[in-house]
Structure 1
Amino acid sequence: MSRPTLTALAVDVLTTKDGHEKTQKSIAAAKLWFDSVDDGDPLEIGNTTPPDVPSRPDAPELLPPNKMPKRKTGSVKGRAALLHAIAHIELNAVDLHWDIIPRFAHVDMPRGYFDDWVKAAAEESKHFNLLCDRLHDMDSFYGDIPAHLGMWRSAQSTATDFMGRLAIVPMVLEARGLDVTPGMIEMFRNVGDEKTVETLEIIYSEEVGHVAYGSKWFHFLCGRHNKDPKVEFHRLVGEYFPGGLKPPFNDEKRAEAGLPLDFYWPVAVS
């Protein structure tokens, strides 16, 4: 029986609607990839074409960000709504990390590039499932309330721009998670919800790696094309994220992920 290619596995995840089935396939695909690597016979990358938009469950209803109801985190229901929003981000991240593999499979990249994004996709899958467990404990579930439809717009706008995708998704959108997660951890700690604190701390520690993958491969491509990474990052943020980056920034964790101060402060807005 012929073995699947990595891009075929990615597209299988992307075209799966149900969130739990999607994440199960994601984790299984990652295991298959890394088992093949460990065996010294990695799967072929392949050239399966990804969908323009990944398959999504029928719920939650997706709304423009400015139409989303305000969350009040002073109640269990409000805190569940916050976790629902994070779960939605994590499920989008599963698709984003699998999409970057077939989307740019025509570009010659080292095997480590594929290792990084497969690992990131598997970790995002774990994050989604951990958050769903916490929602269940709060008598809620993913799909229970609306979610915003803004995240995939960045993927669509950078669908033909490899460096733009690396700059905007991991180095802007995921880096934002490093800025806001400590405050969420503190909020849940203050109400005595240690299970959610543990979940968010896992997500926080692993998201640093995902931002770092973006920075690493962005710098790699800048070197290949003789571009100044800082100048190129500023140009791409101006093109794809014209509203600019909003402080406060977690300078320490951003530095740990390979984002120095002079990358993002010059494109910050008050």
Structure 2
Amino acid sequence: MQSVAAAIRAALLTADPRAKCFAARDVARRWRRGELAWQFDAAMPDQPAWPERPELLPPNRMPKRGKFGSERARIALWHSLAHIEFVAIDLALDMAGRFGEAMGREFVSDFLHVAADEAMHFALLARKLESLGSHYGALPAHGGLWEAAHSTRHDVAARLAVVPMVLEARGLDVTPVTLERVTAAGDDHGAKILSRILDDEIRHVGFGTKYFLKCAENAQKPADSMWKALVQEHFRGALKPPFNDSARLAAGLSREFYEEVAL
């Protein structure tokens, strides 16, 4: 029987986007069915395999999208969202494979579920791009999304603090605004995709918060102060309002965590 670690590593080292989606969902399904052994005999790669396209650029070199109503801007929006979800597949897989042995079976189950969700999100967004006459890889993409994972590869609490509780929580803040714009433009199909993603991401942030609270309990530290210290150490950006307080609270992320460190 293949080990869960080996299956996760194989998915991480799958470069083709469609094949990676299939691999992530297959690992989650095989784990759920009890077809993978509880063994961590394969190390996670420092960086997953990615396709040659899109070209990855630093944030300050990313081209401007232009006005929202233009065709170019619409394609750029959906391409950006697709790239975020593509990298999110690897973030969830790496979380389960790198820290699962120490954190336990439920942790692995939850983050493999996240990986399968992210694969589904990417597939929806890739099809959306194709309906607009484009495809994933047609435009440059943000090259720094994996940095947070790499910099926290030796500390599960830091990874949880930065990836689900900062980066994914930021998605809870910005997605409703994007949803309003897409709805106002008459794109009902796009609005349904974004609504599905928002609902799922609340649960994903909730998983991160749940396990971070366990880490804080095990360390016998106040969760909010521990989170702030880890964010200040490992997150290079800034936490900027406005915040979607209701969605964050639904994910277990109260204002006590982020209010004092917001700019």
The normalised TM-score by structure 1 is 0.94
- 1:110 CA drift (Å): 3.0
- 1:242 CA drift (Å): 4.3
Residues 174/213 of structure 1: CA separation in 2 closer, same or farther (3 Å cut)? same
- How many correspondences in the alignment? 262
Tell me the equivalent position of 1:82.
77
Residues 172/237 of structure 1: CA separation in 2 closer, same or farther (3 Å cut)? same
- How many Å separate the matches in 1 of 2:109 and 2:115? 10
Q: What is the CA deviation profile of residues 190-222 of structure 1, one whole-angstrom value per residue up to 9, with x for unaligned ones?
A: 111111101111100000011000000000111
Tell me the equivalent position of 1:24.
22
AA partner of residue 179 (structure 1): D
- How many Å separate the matches in 2 of 1:46 and 1:103? 9
Structure 1: tracts of 5 or more residues without a match: none
- How many Å separate the matches in 2 of 1:178 and 1:116? 19
Tell me the equivalent position of 2:87.
92
Assess if the C-alpha contact under 8 Å between 2:4 and 2:36 holds in 1.
no
Residue 125 of structure 1 pairs with residue 125 of structure 2: no
- 1:262 CA drift (Å): 1.1
Tell me the equivalent position of 1:143.
137
Query: Which of 36, 42, 46 is matched with 1:52 structurally?
Result: 46
Assess if the C-alpha contact under 8 Å between 1:132 and 1:142 holds in 2.
yes
- How many Å separate the matches in 2 of 1:47 and 1:172? 30
Structure 2: tracts of 5 or more residues without a match: none
- How many Å separate the matches in 2 of 1:5 and 1:210? 24
Assess if the C-alpha contact under 8 Å between 1:238 and 1:244 holds in 2.
no
Assess if the C-alpha contact under 8 Å between 2:2 and 2:36 holds in 1.
no
- How many Å separate the matches in 2 of 1:14 and 1:117? 14
- How many Å separate the matches in 1 of 2:220 and 2:51? 42
Q: What is the CA deviation profile of residues 95-144 of structure 1, one whole-angstrom value per residue up to 9, with x for unaligned ones?
A: 0000112222452x232111110100000000000000100000010000
The normalised TM-score by structure 2 is 0.97
Tell me the equivalent position of 1:14.
12
AA partner of residue 170 (structure 2): R
- How many Å separate the matches in 2 of 1:225 and 1:90? 32
Partner of 1:12, secondary structure, is helix
- 1:240 CA drift (Å): 1.1
- How many Å separate the matches in 2 of 1:136 and 1:27? 22
AA partner of residue 7 (structure 2): L
- How many Å separate the matches in 1 of 2:154 and 2:217? 19
Tell me the equivalent position of 1:67.
61
Residue 239 of structure 1 pairs with residue 237 of structure 2: no
Query: Which of 147, 154, 158 is matched with 1:153 structurally?
Result: 147
Tell me the equivalent position of 1:173.
167
Determine what percentage of the aligned residue pairs are the same residue.
42
CA RMSD of superposed structures (Å): 1.2
AA partner of residue 51 (structure 2): P
Tell me the equivalent position of 1:261.
255
Partner of 2:139, secondary structure, is coil
Following superposition of structure 1 onto structure 2, how do residues 217-236 of structure 1 map, counting pairs within 5 Å?
A: 217-236=211-230
